[in-house]
Amino acid sequence: MRYRKGMKTIAPLLLAVGLAASAPAAEPAAEPSAAKLPAANVVYFIPSDLRPCTNYHARLNVVLREMKAFFDGELRRHGSPARFRLQTDPARPDQIRIFTVHGKEPHTGYPRNGGGAKAHKEVEAYFAANPGLKDGRQTLVLMPCEGPEYGPYHGWGVYCFAIDYSELDVRFRGAKNPKGKKFAKYFGGMAHEFGHAFGLPHNHATKSDEKAFGTAIMGGGNYTLGDSPTFLTAASAKLLEVADCSRPDPMPAKPSRHVMGADGATFEKTPQGVRVRGKLPVPNDLHALLAYYDKDKWAGVNNNYDAESFVVPVAPDGSFDFLMPLSEIHPGRTPYVQAQLRYVYKDGTQQLLRHTLDPKPEKEE
């Protein structure tokens, strides 16, 4: 069988800092601590023609703590030392710190496509004008939206964007009515997009995980969290162990040495599934090796929601031999399959190796 191979390197996005001429008044910076691990930032971004949603600070504090509790609970279930950290108010440590940034344009100036880049530039200008306020690299930007939905709603490097509305309130969690369904959509959507900012790609539950735990948060969980069983996959947990604002230890002083391509990785399609084998050089800076079974389409955006994920065990000598069993794979709509290996390094960088096992015929490309 003829295979097509592709390699892609994914490094944490270095975000440019905008230098706006003016910014809101400075807030007191948190006291620095040598032992303090970085925490994610939360920004409430208000376009010039809108007002904040009712009781947003107190209400979102509860919502964000519930989101943190979901991630932390799932990390504990996996036996992971990682924890989801959100910056707290130095004057009120029991409160999540929410920075308010007033946008320069009306809400129509921040459209779904392209609005994120504009808002990001203004938020970075705010942090540049107020040194010491920004903590970790991961940043959630929320925009008020009481009317028709607008604005960016996606992950973008270490930033992510979501919306707030007055009934985004844990009172409606699990309610079997339209308000409960809407809460699940936007609470789950917020957690899903924040996952992207922490470096998590889309993935789907395996058959056994779906039966035991429900819907993967980085799959369809952006519509189910708070309404029906939703969980974090083992692969996503491994990625959170090296993200800036969830890792249990400081970032390594030296960049990790990448080893993709040095392990002679091979993919073999068998009647039982897809077998991946190779041998990594040792010592190495790899934190985890993850495998994905991606069906139907894999190019472009949002075509990997259906990709089941697996953590590949690596022996002390660097060797690995792992089967992605068909018994754990949901059927695709087409026979086309791409298998992938994601190399996750101790400094949080990633590399992605793709093997197209069943390519589309040229006439269908």
Alpha helices by DSSP H, listed for the chain, are: 56-77, 115-129, 178-197, 207-213, 234-240
Helix (H) or strand (E) holding 289: strand 286-295
CA distance 45 to 48: 10
The whole-model pTM stands at 0.88
CA distance 244 to 158: 10
Cis upstream peptide for 283 (omega within 30°): yes
pLDDT of 296: 80
Contacts of 282 (CB under 8 A, 6+ apart): 316, 317, 318
Query: With bands split at pLDDT 50, 70 and 90, how would you rate the model's confidence at 361?
Result: low
HSE-CB for 364 with a 13 A CA cutoff: 9
Q: How many residues does the chain have?
A: 365
* Cα→Cα distances 263→197, 238, 252, 285, 357, Å: 29, 20, 23, 13, 19
Fold identical between 38-240 and 256-357?
Answer: no
pLDDT of 8: 44
Is pLDDT of 18 > 80? no
Is pLDDT of 9 > 80? no
Q: Was domain 38-240 assigned CATH 3.40.390?
A: yes
The CA-based angle 25-28-29, given to 5 degrees, is 120
Is pLDDT of 22 > 60? no
What is the CATH code of the structural domain delimited by 256-357? 2.60.40.10
Report the Cα 246 to chain-centroid distance in Å: 12
Nearest to 216 by CA among 330, 66, 131: 330
Strand partners, 7: 353
Check if the beta carbon of residue 8 is closer than 8 Å to that of residue 342. Answer: no
- Note the pLDDT tens digit of each residue in 276-291: 999 999 999 999 999 9
Is pLDDT of 72 > 90? yes
Using alpha carbons only, how large is the chain's radius of gyration in Å?
Answer: 21
Check if the beta carbon of residue 142 is closer than 8 Å to that of residue 44. Answer: yes
- Residue type for position 234: A
Q: Once rounded to an integer, what is the mean pLDDT over residues 14-29?
A: 35
- Note the pLDDT tens digit of each residue in 292-322: 999 987 666 678 899 999 999 999 999 999 9
Q: Where are the domains of the chain?
A: 38-240, 256-357
Selected residue with higher pLDDT from 289 and 358: 289
CA torsion sign, 218 to 219 to 222 to 224? negative
pLDDT of 313: 98
Is pLDDT of 6 > 60? no
**Matching residue, tokens 């925490």:** 39
Query: With bands split at pLDDT 50, 70 and 90, how would you rate the model's confidence at 10?
Result: very low
Q: Once rounded to an integer, what is the mean pLDDT over residues 171-189?
A: 96
Query: With bands split at pLDDT 50, 70 and 90, how would you rate the model's confidence at 149?
Result: confident
